[in-house]
Amino acid sequence: MDQIIVTGNGPLDGEIPIAGAKNACLTLMPAALLSDEPLTLTNAPRLSDIRTMTALLQSLGAEVAALQGGQVLAMAGHALNGARADYDIVRKMRASILVLGPLLARTGQAVVSLPGGCAIGARPVDLHLAALEAMGAEMELRDGYVHAKAPAGGLRGAVFEFPLVSVGATENALMAAVLARGTTVLRNAAREPEIADLARCLRRMGARIEGEGSAEITVEGVDRLGGATHPVVVDRIELGTYMLAPAICGGSVECLGGRIDLVGAFCERLDAAGISVSETDRGLKVERRNGRVAAVDVVTEPFPGFPTDLQAQMMALMCTAEGTSRLEERIFENRFMHAPELMRMGARIEVHGGTATVTGVERLKGAPVMATDLRASVSLILAALAAEGETVVSRVYHLDRGYERVEEKLSAVGAKIERVRGG
């Protein structure tokens, strides 16, 4: 397995291009199953999760061609084969469950493996199933698979209120509703920018959707969808991650393609910590105003609140902040696995239930550490950038799921970072 070696190397300076959003692409790709005409995505990120979703769609009979090094995905769902979404693919990537709604809406049936849990939590899919059942689907859980069937005349529009905000369940329900008969109203829907991006793409394909980005989305079902070409929205989590590099190391970095509207709550916390963010005509410029950053408190919430996917990275910044910071993780039940690894680098962190209390130290020290999940792994890289000495991060396959060419992007702004190919 590959390792990444980082040596603390002082302030950073330069520019980092931000890729298309992994979590937008992972819901835009299954949308190709809704139509028998081609869907082409541009600005697609080059990540292992995208390659996993490609393999899954191909196993279902869709054609997916990765062009221009993977930045363009040309897809066609005209020859679906009724195959099931197999456990050996689904267990690698939970987002596979997002083929359920489109398959059900387009073909009237779907057999999809239950994703199972992952490192950060049990990750149930009950809300996905409940929303589709509200549209008339019959669901049977058998030998680890969801066997779903639409009514003879197809899914019916429904009014459904989510008991808690779920990004994936909102995406599955939205994709099913665009081909359901009649009107669907999704209440307490997730408001993430990736859902707004999905709605924009579906509208290009001929869907009739209103309210995306708000808590209530209304869909008028149509008989069929056409094809489209759609640019994947910029990745707000990769953006926030790289904004933290100059925050932790000092210096000034311009994140190309960054948009302030995608990271509002995150920027408010950076400002409180003493990090300045300014909009340029190419993206967002981030500089550390003076000396040590100030400790600030963080509570993760659904968008537009502080994103859970930036909690681990923010903790890395707080490890060397002046004062004590409380980070409350309200979305997932086990998302502090980066804490013990940061403590190996000298961080002072106490975890009690869903809250981590970080007492800042002057400087961390490099150490061998282990990546446990996607965002935890990049928080270790961030901490290592400013640590004294060398840090070796193992199990970086977690990192490659969500960050393309991380060592190239950080080296380009002066970081001392290299990948060592593993056995």
Nearer to ligand EPZ, 25 or 245 (CB): 25
The residue sitting closest to ligand EPZ, measured at its beta carbon, is 168
**Closest approach of ligand EPZ to the CB of residue 229, in Å:** 22
Residue 161 near residue 190 (C-beta atoms within 8 A): no
Task: Tell me the residue type at 417.
Answer: I
Q: How far, in Å, CA of 172 to CA of 187, rounded?
A: 14
H or E, element range at 16: strand 12-17
Q: How far, in Å, CA of 371 to CA of 398, rounded?
A: 7
Nearer to ligand EPZ, 293 or 393 (CB): 393
Task: Look up residue 95 and give its two tokens.
Answer: 């987002």
**Closest approach of ligand EPZ to the CB of residue 166, in Å:** 3
Nearer to ligand EPZ, 100 or 249 (CB): 100
**Closest approach of ligand EPZ to the CB of residue 354, in Å:** 11
Nearer to ligand EPZ, 190 or 337 (CB): 190
118 is catalytic: yes
HSE-up of residue 352 (Cα within 13 Å, Cβ side): 4
Backbone φ, ψ for residue 73 (5° rounding): -115, 110
Q: Do you find a cis peptide bond into 17, omega within 30 degrees of 0?
A: no
Task: Tell me the residue type at 268.
Answer: E
Residues that bind ligand EPZ (CB under 6 A): 22-23, 26, 94-95, 121, 123-128, 164, 166-169, 190, 308-309, 331-332, 374-375, 402
**Closest approach of ligand EPZ to the CB of residue 117, in Å:** 9
Which among 95, 72, 76 is positioned nearest to 85, based on CA atoms?
Answer: 95
Residue 377 near residue 399 (C-beta atoms within 8 A): yes
Task: Look up residue 285 and give its two tokens.
Answer: 């410029």
Nearer to ligand EPZ, 134 or 386 (CB): 134
Nearer to ligand EPZ, 356 or 364 (CB): 356
**Closest approach of ligand EPZ to the CB of residue 209, in Å:** 19
For residue 378, give the 3-state DSSP assignment: helix
Instruction: Kindly report the length of the chain.
Output: 423
**Closest approach of ligand EPZ to the CB of residue 256, in Å:** 21
User: For residue 268, what are the contacts with CB-CB under 8 A and spacing of at least 6?
Assistant: none
User: In whole angstroms, what separates CA 16 from the centre of its chain?
Assistant: 19
- Residue 59's Cβ-count burial label (10 Å; 0-12, 13-18, 19+) is middle
Q: How far, in Å, CA of 403 to CA of 394, rounded?
A: 15
Residue 338 near residue 380 (C-beta atoms within 8 A): yes
DSSP 156: B
Nearer to ligand EPZ, 128 or 288 (CB): 128
Residue 301 near residue 312 (C-beta atoms within 8 A): no
**Closest approach of ligand EPZ to the CB of residue 294, in Å:** 27
**Closest approach of ligand EPZ to the CB of residue 282, in Å:** 25
Nearer to ligand EPZ, 124 or 144 (CB): 124
Write the DSSP string, 169-187: HHHHHHHHHTTSBSEEEEE
Catalytic residue among 118, 201, 249, 319: 118
Q: What residues act catalytically?
A: 118
